[in-house]
Amino acid sequence: MADVTAAVTAIPLVPFAAFLVALLVGHYAPRALPKGGALPGIAATAISLVLSVWAFLTVGAGGATVSQVWTWVPAANDSFALTFGLLLDPLSALMVVVVSGVSLLVHVFSLGYMNDEGETGLARYYAGLGLFTASMLAFALASNLLQAFVFFELVGFCSWWLIGHWFREPGPASAAKKAFLVTRFGDYFLLVGLVGVLGTFGTAAFAGDASFPALAHAALEGEASVNTFGVDPATWFTILGLLILGGVIGKSAQFPLQTWLPDAMEGPTPVSALIHAATMVAAGVYLVARLYGFYALTPTALTVIALVGGFTALFAATMALVKREIKQVLAYSTISQYGYIMLGLGSGGYVAGVFHLLTHATFKALLFLGAGAVIIAMHHDEDMWKMGGLKDRMPTVYWAFLSGSLALAGIVPFAGFWSKDAVLHHALTVGLGGQPLVLFAYLMGLVAVAFTGFYTFRMVFLTFHGEPRSETARDADAASANMRVPVAILGVLAAVVGLVNVDPLKGVVGERLLFLERWLNGPLPGLAGATAEHYHELVVDVAGFHGATVSPVVSAVVSLVFALTGVALAWTWYNVPEPVEKTDALGPAKTVLYNNYYQDEFQTWLATGVTEPLANAVDVFDASVVDGVVNGVSSTSLVASDRLRRVQTGVVTTYTTQLVFGLVVLLLIVLLLGGWF
């Protein structure tokens, strides 16, 4: 299958070539670069998309494969090799299609958002997009944790690059730094976990019989032994899983490392759509899905994932309720939706989590691109209270945005309904099946559904309905074609993509129409350990997550009622010609929400109020006590030896005298101790 490997290798390499073209031609011959690098980028992502779809079809025809592309460090003296490879299975095939598809649409949209607006630094912008796309595709196709880590860091670097596109202004520059540092904090845990995995198993491969999830399973069954450093294997695997989870929490903006994502909205809106909604933020949860054979072995890690997810879903949704800027609402909803994905994966719902990852990538990219079109029409004013009545000015964007909003709010039959409901249904069954903590996470997720409906439609009504509330909104121009087309494509997708897995209707339509579930179930010749069916067995047998029987329809109706309540409340308050800020009634609570529970202030206080005094105290201790001891020893010996060296006169007779004196003293001691006197 050499040709498959070559073609799949080209999926990340083609955007990388576009990155090089934009970088080098943009530097040496900027005028020769068509559209500032947009056209090479569009061509490259289109090629990647075609290859990805072909790879997707190959997998569908039974062509799932693992191959090794490059050996970084060869194995020596019973040590292990560090390699780069490709893992083409249903999950990665799905992911590369999503990534290259969204990337292509974002490139096209950028023609309208960046080029037509006369932005400078276009070569830099498109080079960043190209490198990001290449890294993200290589991450999705990674065959081992080390390679995944390398590209995990690269997408983080590209995120810094693109958030700071307008680096001459203080806001984007500081937001870029914050995004880089906060995600890096999580990545330290991932790096420690990676070293732990390599030290424990001697391999970091994701799939196959010699992969570390398979070895971990065998070790738990007592069929293989691995070096767990004297710790009980189950405990040790939980520790490793939680360490890796640190990187996931940083990258997927989960509590408590989510503060960077709202700030990242300082970047250009297409970047927000591509990186901070659809793909890079998905890298975290994708890693959990990729390692599902490992996480399914440790119920503790799964419960932590579910709790973090459920809590983040609710926590972020409350903050989205009161935001004024359209992109801020979307940023918090992104955090909240990734919380749902974590909830789904943590409660053992691998298919549900991946499903929500897929639908969320579609409708959130749509919402961001729609918001980008609105922001251009509003001349970069993002305050929703200055918008209003835009639906007559930009009907295409309005209808597409409405489709995405219905999907986000989880209204039947749009995409988000099916996937969010699959997540919630799964969490409910597992929660009722004897996992009270998962049930608690489910309840948080359920309450967040109502909040989601409310803030989504508050945003829609404030932006598009009612009377225009500013001169800019009154004179807003319609979006140009290169912005309308991507938005329209995604608008259609957001309406229909949920139909690939109509989970609540399982009893009505039968398993036949659950395309995604069948897709992820395999069968995979040679990769039996990477199917959803196998993961499900692990979750039940090893982690002990038994699902209670709850009709999917009941769960769906409950969450739909919650969503509709939120939407109805938004309707009555904000779908009027002259809406007012009803959330003011929350009083001081609103201030707390608007300031994100003062988390930024808390983190700054952690740095200046705790870490800095502690560092100063340690510095004082170091300078006085530690250095004092060292300096004292050295000055004592200096003074003492300065005195002592004076016995060396250089005259041989003196030395002889000293020798004889010493001999006499020794003799006296011997004689005294011998009792001669």
643 contacts other proteins (rule: CB under 8 A): no
DSSP-assigned states of every residue in 531-576: SHHHHHHHHHHTS--PPP---HHHHHHHHHHHHHHHHHHHHHHHSS
645 contacts other proteins (rule: CB under 8 A): yes
Judged by CB, which is closer to other proteins: 611, or 656? Answer: 656
| Phi then psi dihedrals of residue 640, to 5 deg | -65, -45
Q: Indicate which single residue of 648, 666, 670, 671 sits in contact with other proteins (rule: CB under 8 A).
A: 648
What Rg value do the Cα atoms of the chain yield, rounded?
Answer: 31
Judged by CB, which is closer to other proteins: 635, or 649? Answer: 649
Judged by CB, which is closer to other proteins: 626, or 659? Answer: 659
Q: Indicate which single residue of 653, 673, 674, 676 sits in contact with other proteins (rule: CB under 8 A).
A: 653
Angular region, 235: left φ>0, alpha ψ -120 to 50, beta rest = alpha
> CB 153 → other proteins: shortest distance, Å?
57
Judged by CB, which is closer to other proteins: 634, or 656? Answer: 656
650 contacts other proteins (rule: CB under 8 A): yes
Between CA 207 and CA 89 the distance in angstroms is 9
Name the segment binding other proteins (CB under 8 A); options: 218-226, 579-587, 610-618, 646-654: 646-654
636 contacts other proteins (rule: CB under 8 A): no
Identify whether the C-beta of residue 162 lies closer than 8 Å to the C-beta of residue 129.
yes
> CB 661 → other proteins: shortest distance, Å?
10
Instruction: Build a one-symbol-per-residue string for 387-416: x at contacts with other proteins by CB under 8 A, - elsewhere.
Output: ------------------------------
Q: Indicate which single residue of 580, 656, 662, 665 sits in contact with other proteins (rule: CB under 8 A).
A: 656
> How many whole angstroms from its chain centre is CA 338?
9
Judged by CB, which is closer to other proteins: 591, or 658? Answer: 658
Between CA 178 and CA 181 the distance in angstroms is 5
Judged by CB, which is closer to other proteins: 507, or 650? Answer: 650
**Binders of other proteins in range 86-105 (CB under 8 A):** none
Between CA 655 and CA 649 the distance in angstroms is 8
How many angstroms separate the Cα of 403 from the Cα of each of 339, 356, 407, 412? 22, 16, 6, 11
Between CA 24 and CA 228 the distance in angstroms is 48
671 contacts other proteins (rule: CB under 8 A): no
660 contacts other proteins (rule: CB under 8 A): yes
Preceding amide of 268 cis, omega within 30: no
Name the segment binding other proteins (CB under 8 A); options: 69-77, 246-254, 565-573, 648-656: 648-656
Instruction: Build a one-symbol-per-residue string for 588-627: x at contacts with other proteins by CB under 8 A, - elsewhere.
Output: ----------------------------------------
Q: At what angle do helices 395-409 and 552-574 cross, to 10 degrees?
A: 130
Q: Indicate which single residue of 78, 652, 676, 677 sits in contact with other proteins (rule: CB under 8 A).
A: 652
The identity of residue 416, as a single letter, is G
Number of residues that bind other proteins (CB under 8 A): 10
Between CA 347 and CA 341 the distance in angstroms is 10
Name the segment binding other proteins (CB under 8 A); options: 388-396, 531-539, 602-610, 651-659: 651-659
Name the residue among 301, 351, 378, 209 with its Cα closest to residue 543: 301
Query: Which parts of this chain interact with other proteins (CB under 8 A)?
Result: 645, 648-653, 656-657, 660
